[in-house]
Amino acid sequence: MADRLKDRVAIVVGAGSSGPGWGNGKCTAVTFAREGAKVFCVDRNLAAARETADIIAKEGGTAVAHGADVTSDSQVEAMVEACRQRWDRIDVLDNNVGIGSTGGPVELAEKDWDLTFDVNVKSFFLTLKHVLPVMEAQGRGAIINVSSIASIRVPKGISYVAYNASKGAVNALTQAVASQYADKGIRCNAILPGLMHTPMIDFLAEQYAKNERDHNAAYDKMIAIRNKASPTGKMGTGWDTANAALFLASDDSAYVNGHLLVVDGGITLRA
């Protein structure tokens, strides 16, 4: 255990994992705990949140699992109150939830647009609505919103208009909050991950490959394409996102506010 977040209380939203392995939220929750934080692990899938909290407990850290749908105002309010009741404060808020829908403005169904914005933007708005007053009363706080390089770069040949637009909204929301609350001791920054190898990507690769004659070859091909797209020759991992979140949560970034931190191995440097 280290101590960059010693005795601080951190809510990690999306602290579970969508499948076997290590996603951004799970890695972040465990990283925060290893640095001394008490972690309130939130996920719509309570079992996944418990799995993360159990890992932290087995390593000697402190964590609690909490189930919540963060697109629901009442559930977010209850989540924040449950954290306060247990530890009396909230020092760090890390927003990790997100989904994507394929299609351009013509092809995409209205319901899929609405769902993408509910999960990717409204959930962040709601957690901010209920956590900011707690942080303002304390006189300090650090907020990290997980966005995506899709907010600043549109890859050729793929239409994710709702995802692109929603992550762009996360960037704007982050900077608006950073500006409004800077004189209250609260910092708000965003992480823009690039191509990361997480359980969600494994799921998408499996979906891509399931109808192919050679399932394993098709899966491997998709993973290889994503690896090749990075200048480093491989995708990043949830731990890369977690380490960026640790920096933004800790006093190491005490004068960093409203920043959009790209974590992509250099992909956005390419045309």
Hey, which residues are catalytic here?
163
CB 29 within 8 A of CB 52: yes
Contact between residue 26 and residue 52 where contact means Cβ atoms under 8 Å apart = yes
CA-CA distance, 189 to 57, in Å (whole number)?
A: 28
Question: Cβ contacts of residue 56 below 8 Å, gap of 6+?
Answer: 29, 30, 33, 39, 41, 62, 63
Say which DSSP state 251 is in: G
Joined together, the tokens standing for residue 31 give 């990283």
Nearest to 99 by CA among 113, 79, 81, 80: 113
Alpha carbon separation from 200 to 9, 18, 84, 237, 250 (Å, rounded): 27, 6, 31, 11, 27
Strands 260-263 and 141-146: unpaired
